[in-house]
């Protein structure tokens, strides 16, 4: 039996998934770890945590599935994007990795815009300078830790450190590279203009590969550590959202992946690079060779519901919390919710944005508040769909929904009504790790291409069409859109007051 391993090195755990050649998940193992917050708004993690968790997860999934290591024919990688891993000339880690959700680099983002010009930056990379990206982190180290910076010889992303430990090779995939703010989006490789403007040595950056390309082979040292067979191919893989899209089959134009997890992601595949002129949508290379994608990111989607439950209904399970919501009419009788609990990225790249309930009256019950949270998240995700239509992606034929929030039939119905499109669920539920395994299988020849792989192993399991509530949400959405511009001055003032207290 031929099998394939997908490894997902996320912020809180590394997962190893074992997939058969016909797409069946034979086993999953996950090893958890924590991250550090040495200062407010900083997040760091030592790369060795990912490697140790990778070793543990691979060994456990092989043992628990009973699959022989010799049956594993390929390994695919995915994981958290945008993080900064710095290595010296000997491949040793110079400092803890600075993660995607670290917010320390506001001044460096301004510096990048000044050096390149915001419009030119967006036209080259597809993105504005945001604190989460890799490039401003590099400048932060240069500006604040010169003794570290002078020793830098290699720059990697988190999953690519795992690749280095598995193969001894320095490499990255084009989807991950596009998320660094150092990529020429159209050329699908490092941008000479950006590197020169930021004075970053191109020799520090690894070569880039398509998601299905073989980037190296399991080394004897990694084979001894993980139990895999030395010489097993390791393919490029992709950033977590690109791999997630492969995992649900959102690989062709017209099919959109909607991930309703702690954050909310709207992911649309394209045959050519599309750029939102103001950088309000992320434009990256896809893990699928020769394709790109647009992506809108809401920071507190399922996270909004979890915060609401934990704060206002502690100890109540989600099924019990949502049960009475069906009795509340669409629009929650005039109650609106802004889901900006941790700032926002799409459509407002504003770390000072705040959450809010607007329209509260004595008539509103806990069920009204709960429904307002579900609706507010749906309105926020619609913002990404509207931006995609503005740049020319009008032909959205299907939305494939996944993530913890998608398990709720009620929330799926609200989403379908607010978005005005049919939502479908699929048979695969392991997301990015599954997508990484699909890329590995394709890369070693089990499938002719990613489209064929997804067509063969991913099936639709359910449909949710827009219902009568669609009309009510069409009237409410403009009111929702008016709230952030009206409240932004207050959000900024509240942040200033908070800093002074």
DSSP type of residue 242: H
Contact (CB, 8 A) for 25 and 430 = yes
Distance separating alpha carbons of residues 93 and 164, to the nearest angstrom: 12
Question: Residue 382, CB half-sphere, CA atoms under 13 Å: how many?
Answer: 23
Reading the block at residue 124, the tokens are 């080259």
CB atoms within 10 A of CB 200: 19
SS3 state of residue 261 = coil
- Residue given tokens 């893989």 in the structure block: 237
Residue from 258, 221, 455, 461 nearest 346 by CA: 258
Polymer length of the chain = 501
Round the CA-based radius of gyration of the chain to a whole number and report it.
Answer: 22
Alpha carbon distance 461, 455 (integer Å): 14
Cα 278–Cα 83–Cα 87 angle in degrees, nearest 5: 135
CB count within 10 Å of CB 396 equals 18
Name the DSSP letter for residue 462: E
Q: Which of 266, 263, 206, 269 is nearest to 77 (CA)?
A: 206
Catalytic residue among 128, 160, 240, 417: 240
Q: Is 240 a catalytic residue?
A: yes
d(CA 437, CA 261): 21
Query: Per 3-state DSSP, what percentage of the chain is helix, strand, and coil (rounded to 5)?
Result: 40, 20, 35
What would the two tokens of residue 104 be? 């320390």
Q: Which residues are tagged catalytic?
A: 240
């Amino acid at each position: 039996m031929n099998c394939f391993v997908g490894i997902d090195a996320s912020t809180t755990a590394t997962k190893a998934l074992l997939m058969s050649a016909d797409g069946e998940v034979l086993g999953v193992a996950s090893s958890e770890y924590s991250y550090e917050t040495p200062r407010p708004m900083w997040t760091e993690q030592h790369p060795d945590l990912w490697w140790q968790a990778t070793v543990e997860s691979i060994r456990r999934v092989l043992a628990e599935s009973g699959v022989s290591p010799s049956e594993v024919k390929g390994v695919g990688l995915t994981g958290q994007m945008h993080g900064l891993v710095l290595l010296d000339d000997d491949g040793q880690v110079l400092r803890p990795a600075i993660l995607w959700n670290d917010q320390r680099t506001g001044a460096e983002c301004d510096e990048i815009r000044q050096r390149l010009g915001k419009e030119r930056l967006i036209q080259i990379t597809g993105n504005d300078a945001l604190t989460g990206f890799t490039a401003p982190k590099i400048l932060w180290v240069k500006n604040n830790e010169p003794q570290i910076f002078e020793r830098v010889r290699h720059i990697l992303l988190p999953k690519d450190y795992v690749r280095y430990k598995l193969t001894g090779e320095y490499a990255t995939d084009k989807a991950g590279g596009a998320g660094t703010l150092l990529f020429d989006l159209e050329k699908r490789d490092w941008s000479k203009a950006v590197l020169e403007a930021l004075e970053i040595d191109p020799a520090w950056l690894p070569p880039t590969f398509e998601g299905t390309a073989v980037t190296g082979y399991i080394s004897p040292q990694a084979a001894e550590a993980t139990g895999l067979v030395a010489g097993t191919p390791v393919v490029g893989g992709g950033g977590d959202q690109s791999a997630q899209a492969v995992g649900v089959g959102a690989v062709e134009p017209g099919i959109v992946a909607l991930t309703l997890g702690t954050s909310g992601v709207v992911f649309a595949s394209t045959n050519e690079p599309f750029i939102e002129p103001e950088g309000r949508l992320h434009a990256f290379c896809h893990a699928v060779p020769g394709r790109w994608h647009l992506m809108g990111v809401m920071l507190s989607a399922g996270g909004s519901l979890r915060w609401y439950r934990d704060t206002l209904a502690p100890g109540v399970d989600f099924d019990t919390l949502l049960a009475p919501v069906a009795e509340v009419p669409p629009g929650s009788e005039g109650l609106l919710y802004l889901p900006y609990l941790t700032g926002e990225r799409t459509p407002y790249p504003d770390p000072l944005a705040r959450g809010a309930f607007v329209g509260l009256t004595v008539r509103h019950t806990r069920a009204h508040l709960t429904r307002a949270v579900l609706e507010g998240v749906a309105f926020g995700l619609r913002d990404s769909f509207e931006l995609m239509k503005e740049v020319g992606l009008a032909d959205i034929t299907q939305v494939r929904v996944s993530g913890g929030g998608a398990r709720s039939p009620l929330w799926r119905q609200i989403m379908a009504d607010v978005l005005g499109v049919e939502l479908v669920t699929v048979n695969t539920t392991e997301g990015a790790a599954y997508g990484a395994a699909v890329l590995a299988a394709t890369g070693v020849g089990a499938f002719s291409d990613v489209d064929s792989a997804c067509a063969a192993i991913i099936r639709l399991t359910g449909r949710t069409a827009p219902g009568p509530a669609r009309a009510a949400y069409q009237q409410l959405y403009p009111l929702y859109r008016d709230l952030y511009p009206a409240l932004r001055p207050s959000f900024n003032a509240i942040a200033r007051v908070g800093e002074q207290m």
